[in-house]
Amino acid sequence: MNRNGLLRLLFLSFLLLSGCWNRTELNELGITAATGFDKEGKEWVMSYQVIVPSVMAIGQGGAGSGGKSKPNVHVFTNKGASIREAADMSYMENARRLYFAHTDVLVLGIDAAKEGIDEVLDLYFRNNDARETVLVTITDGKASDILKKLIPAESLPGTALSEMIRKESAFSSRLPSIKVYQLAQRITSDSAAAGVPEIKFTGNIKGEMESLDDEKRTSAPGKLVLNRLGVFRGDRFIGWLNRRESFGVSWLTDQVKGSTIAFSSDSKSGKPNSIRITQAKTKVTPEKAGNRFKMRIEVKLSGALLEAGTNQDLMKPENIYKLEQDLAKEVTDIMNIGWKASKRIGVDLPGFADKIHRKYPKDWKKMKETWTEDFKKVELDVQVKAKILRPGLLKKAFRTNQEGSSKSGK
Amino acid sequence: MTTKTLHGQEQQSSLPSEVMQTLALLQRRLGHSSDISIRKLNWPEDSSPFAIVCHLNGLVDDKEVNQMISNINQYVIAKRENDGMSVESLLQEVLPGKLKAIRDEEAMVQAVLDGRTVVLIDGLDTAMAASLLGGERRSVEEPTSQTVIRGSKEGFTEDISTNIALIRRKIRSADLRFEDRIIGRVTRTRVSVGYIQGIANPNVVQEVFARLDAIDTDSILESSYIEEFIQDSELTPFPTMINTERPDAVAGNLLEGQVAILVDGTPFVLILPVTFFRFFLSSEDYYQRYDISTFLRLIRLFSFFVALLLPSTYIAVTTFQQEMIPTTLLISLAAQREGTPLPALAEALLMELTFEVIREAGVRMPRVVGPAISIVGALVLGQAAVQAGLVSAAMVIIVSFTAIANFVIPYFSMSSAVRIIRFGFMILAGTFGLYGILAGVIPLLVHLVALRSFGIPYFLPASPLSFSNMKDVFLRIPWPKAKYRPDYVSEINKRRQSDSSGENPKEKLGD
């Protein structure tokens, strides 16, 4: 009994005492909000934006955060032969354990992107502390420079950056957001193509927006903006698409969640209408036409009219119908621009390859090898069904009311 | 001399007929304890006693004793002439029905100790005892440990007869039975088992008596003594019996087929058998509307989980699974932890222990110094500790919420169980994180499922799953819909109401 009790005690202490080894207190963590990947020659350069919680607390507690003298984040940059070795080098200059689970966004430097990002993806899938749901961005320069920039009115630049991408994706859809796992899915699919939003700093002075002093102005001299779409073929960057082209790709790939589009209707006034798209659905079906493929693209979209440039009375269904036709034409044009840009870069960004593979697997086997050239011969058959659900509170354009009243006044 | 007892058996009296000899016997047994009062009634002529009245001070009603003494006087003087004194006539004429004949020493001594008044008459070898109980007792007051907003405000007292009467007033049924046992060799405490015949499971009643009869101890001072003697398993923090101060709760439970054990000297009555979920029901649930009662029951269950797992979850998540916390919350927690000296586990243990100390102090301290404790507890230990950077503010919030959630559990015995288990979970969480908590929850569930209360699975109706018993566990369905009793306690007589109960008035109003 006595020996038994001793054994139990020993067992219990083994259990309880050994458990503490991987315990990390919150104040020992260096929580990173954003990470950046660059390449210098053969070496990886890793940058991470570490949150400084004590400074954050000053901002929260006090009524005015004006007294704050330190930024909320601190950026470390380290070099190494591999990515995690570079991260490991951070312990030479950082007192905290780097913690990646709360990273929201990763920035790829252009050099790293051009040489291939397979190592980055491998890292994100292999480790459990790095999440696959991190948003991916690319910059035409060094990622470390982007991480250093403050975003005015936001406490954490990394989080603000990811929020910017999310909001853009939900309310504009021109540069749709992409997460690590989505990027991996797309570049390993048959089309082997993916678009990543570009983040760009508009200022041109070195070191601008890297100090709290720059935040003291009402409008910052340089800002971080979402600029273009960086296109990947496989794991390598190959070119840029501008916003309108990228919007076309968004439509083709059913990534439009909400957006505001300007479109012109009657040639007389020449003024544009705009619509807030609240629902959009794109269906792509490949159709075999002899030796070639034709993609039938059916788009259904609906929304509310925000501005009316037309002179027509919008209470009449035929006028609304006319507007819908114009809107459909505009969306068709945008899609064609996107498709043209894809062909120009030479990448199947809309992902037609996967659609064909799924519907005609036998044909796909034959055409797989030559697809990079063949896809340019694919024809689009675009059918857009646009629906204006709410014309708004005003019957005609304001301008026509004005004309009417001046006439009656005479 | 022989007389007939109630059972018709011949019984020989072992007492002497000489009154002074009997008194000597009594005094030899009782000693010269200062609370024994011996009143000698003397013949006016030779001042030799013709009767002796003996009782304990403070346990009898002095007025009634005096009344009895004058009755005895009249009786003796009336019978002196014709010398027709007999036990039978005495029992008939002096306080009819209240006097009982005693024929042996042991019973006589016990009668005095029970608080009865013993009368010895010279020339008779039979003593008589009258139950003229009185003395100072606490009156029926509002229960202090289980208060309600709506419902009966009566609480049990320390007097078992009062307590039985309180229950009887609620259930005026011939089937309500109380059966007594005297337990405790020294204390000789009266223990009464109450049940409703025809509703209570006879096997359970039998088992209760069997377990009570097996107790051989010197003292029973509170119902918890009985509880520990008769419980199914000692190796559990969970109570397998409910104790309550409320007669209405006892009445309600008796009607569901449970058994009540009343112990003299305590206002806490045991109810058994019980299931785990019973501890989250308050008698007030049945007095309020069923919707709010249902909501409150869910709140109580939620509070149970909070009280059990909140500190440990906080420790686990902040020291092991930081990825589970939303980023902004993580940053603000991390900011609070900047500069605090202790690891989260030590901090939590320290704060929990501090709270337990304050709580214990609050119970034990004299009521006059009450405000002092709350000032020290709330200001010094709460606010000042945070400002001094000893503990993080989040930890104070966690500990306070845990403490408050603990008070939501209606029965103190269950909330004590939670208090103890909580510490185990905190250590598990501090060493293994969420995995440790799960590694604690599973054995806890296994234990709960294996536990039994008088043969009834403790975790009913969740395991074994019984939907028919679910109507009064998480939900409280309205009374007209509760046609049956929960069938796990009462295997016989399940029906509570007729099918048409509560239907007709509504139809008439609809016309």
Model ipTM? 0.81
Strand A29-40 relative to strand A97-99, pairing = parallel
pLDDT digits (tens, 9 = 90+) for A71-102: 889 999 999 999 889 988 888 888 888 888 89
Coil/strand/helix, residue A259: strand
A315 with A236, same domain: the answer is no
Collect the ranges in chain B with pLDDT lower than 50.
1-10, 511
**Chain segment A316-365, per-residue pLDDT in tens:** 888 889 889 999 999 999 999 999 999 999 899 999 999 999 999 988 88
- Residues of A engaging B, defined by a Cβ cutoff of 8 Å: 15-20, 22-27, 29, 31, 33, 51, 53-54, 56-57, 60, 99, 101-102, 104, 129, 131, 156, 159
CB-based contact, B321 to chain A, within 8 Å: no
- Asked, for residue B491, whether it belongs to a domain, the answer is no
Q: How many CA atoms lie within 13 A of A154 on its CB side?
A: 19
What integer is the mean pLDDT of A179-194? 93
A208-214, long-range: CB < 8 A, 24+ apart: A208/A149, A209/A149, A209/A150, A210/A148, A210/A149, A210/A150, A211/A71, A211/A150, A212/A68, A212/A69, A212/A70, A212/A71, A212/A150, A214/A150
Q: Which residue among B318, B427, B431 sits closest to A26, beta carbon to beta carbon? A: B318
CB–CB of B334 and A26 under 8 A?
yes
Give percent above pLDDT 90 in chain A: 49
Contact A318, A406 (CB under 8 A): no
The residue among B219, B243, B274 that closes a domain is B274
Q: Are residues A153 and A267 in the same domain?
A: no
In a domain, B218, yes or no: yes
Which domain range does residue B209 map to?
160-274
Interval A145-171 mean pLDDT:
90
pLDDT at A410: 41
Q: Answer with the one of A173, A207, A241 that is the final residue of a domain.
A: A241
Closest CA to B54 of B26, B96, B76, B33: B26
Please tell me the predicted confidence (pLDDT) of residue A268. 67
Cβ-defined contact of B339 to A27 (cutoff 8 Å): yes
User: What integer best gives the mean pLDDT of chain A?
Assistant: 86
Closest CA to A29 of B348, B310, B344, B346: B344
Q: Are B482 and B470 in contact (CB under 8 A)?
A: no
Residue B440 in contact with partner chain A when CB distance is under 8 A: no
Q: Please tell me which residue of chain A has the smallest CA distance to B341.
A: A27
Question: Which residue among B334, B343, B427 places its CB closest to the CB of A31?
Answer: B334
Task: Determine, yes or no, domain membership for B445.
Answer: yes
Yes or no: say if A352 and A375 are a contact pair by the CB < 8 Å rule: yes
Q: Is A72 helix (H, G, I), strand (E, B) or coil?
A: coil
Say yes or no: B402 and B351 in one domain: yes
Q: CB distance A25–B332 less than 8 Å?
A: no
Residue A267 is predicted with a pLDDT of 61
Give the chain B residue whose CA is nearest to the CA of A128: B323
Q: Are A25 and B319 in contact (CB < 8 Å)?
A: yes
CA distance A327 to A320: 10
> Which of B314, B317, B322 is the best mutation test for A, with the most CBs of A within 10 A?
B322
DSSP structure class, residue B133:
B
Do B86 and B200 sit in the same domain of this protein?
no
pLDDT of residue B250: 95
Mark whether B269 and B216 lie in a shared domain: yes
Q: Does pLDDT of A63 surpass 80?
A: no
Distance (Å, whole) CA A348 – CA A368: 13
Q: Which residues of B touch A29 (CB under 8 A)?
A: 322, 334
Question: A241, A262, A296 — which closes off a domain?
Answer: A241
Confidence class for position A293, pLDDT limits 50, 70, 90? confident
Same domain, A224 and A301: no
Contact flag B331-A53 (C-beta cutoff 8 Å): yes
Q: Are residues A249 and A228 in the same domain?
A: no
Per residue in A342-354, is it b (16+ CB within 10 Å) or e — as a string? beebebbbbbbbb
Calculate how close chain A gets to B328, using CA atoms only, in Å: 10
Q: Which amino acid does the sequence have at B332?
A: S
List helix spans (H) across A47-179: 53-61, 83-88, 110-115, 118-126, 143-148, 157-171
Choose among B467, B475, B149: nearest CA to B294.
Answer: B475
The answer to whether residues A233 and A192 touch, using CB atoms and an 8 Å cutoff, is yes
Probe site for chain A from B331, B333, B347, B432 (most A CB atoms < 10 A): B331
Q: Which residue has the higher pLDDT, B179 or A307?
A: B179
Dist CA B188 CA B182 (whole Å): 6
Amino acid at the residue A392: G
In what side-by-side order are the strands of the sheet with B259-263?
B176-183, B189-196, B259-263, B269-272, B242-244
Predicted local confidence at residue B390, as pLDDT: 86
Q: What residues in B contact A57, CB-CB < 8 Å?
A: 332, 335-336, 338
Backbone angles phi, psi at B43, to 5 degrees: -65, 135
- Cβ–Cβ of A27/B322 closer than 8 Å? no
Q: Which residues contact B416 (CB under 8 A, 6 or more apart)?
A: B237
B181 touches chain A (CB under 8 A): no
A10-54: per-residue pLDDT in tens?
877 766 666 556 778 888 889 999 999 999 989 999 999 999 888
Which has more confidence, B433 or A64? B433
Beta pairing partners, A40: A43
Residue B377, min C-alpha distance to chain A (Å): 25
Judged by CB atoms closer than 8 Å, whether chains meet at A102 and B330 is answered as yes
The verdict on a CB contact (< 8 Å) between A99 and B331 is no
Q: How far is B343 from chain A (nearest CA, A)?
A: 6
Give yes or no for B436 touching A (CB within 8 A): yes
Regarding whether B253 and B123 lie in a shared domain, the answer is no
Same domain, A30 and A178: yes
pLDDT computed for residue B508 by the predictor: 54
Range with lowest mean pLDDT among A61-70, A196-205, B84-93:
A61-70
Question: What is the DSSP track for B157-205?
Answer: -S-HHHHHHHHHHH---TTEEEEEEEE-TTT-EEEEEEEETTTS-HHHH
Task: State whether A87 and A220 are in the same domain.
Answer: yes
Residues in chain B closer than 8 A to A33 (CB atoms) = 327
Domain end (from A187, A221, A241): A241
B329 within a domain of the structure (yes/no)? yes
Domain membership flag for residue B104: yes
In a domain, A12, yes or no: no
Domain match, A211 and A306 both: no
Q: Which of B424, B457, B490 lies at the terminal end of a domain, its last residue? A: B457
- Overall number of domains in chain B: 3
Note whether B343 contacts A51, CB cutoff 8 Å: no
Q: How many domains, in total, are found in chain A?
A: 2
Spell out the residues 6+ positions from residue B174 whose beta carbon is closer than 8 angstroms to its own. none
Q: Considering the domain boundaries, does residue A230 fall inside one?
A: yes
Q: Which residue of B has its CA nearest to A60?
A: B332
The one-letter code for the residue type at B495 is R
Q: Which residue of A has its CA nearest to B427?
A: A16
Nearest CB to B320: which of A23, A51, A56? A23
Which residues does residue A301 pair with via DSSP β-bridges, in sequence order?
Answer: A280, A386
- Of A161-175, A206-220, B457-471, the poorest mean pLDDT is in A206-220
User: Would you call the peptide bond into B464 cis, given omega within 30 degrees of 0 as the criterion?
Assistant: yes
Of A26, A33, A56, the CB nearest to B337: A26
Domain extent, residue A369, equals 243-404
Give the strands of the sheet with A259-264, arranged side by side: A259-264, A272-289, A292-307, A379-390
Do residue A99 and residue A226 come from a single domain?
yes
A309 and A160 within one domain = no
Strands B242-244 and B49-56: unpaired
Positive or negative, the Cα torsion across A271, A272, A274, A279? positive
In a domain, B474, yes or no: no
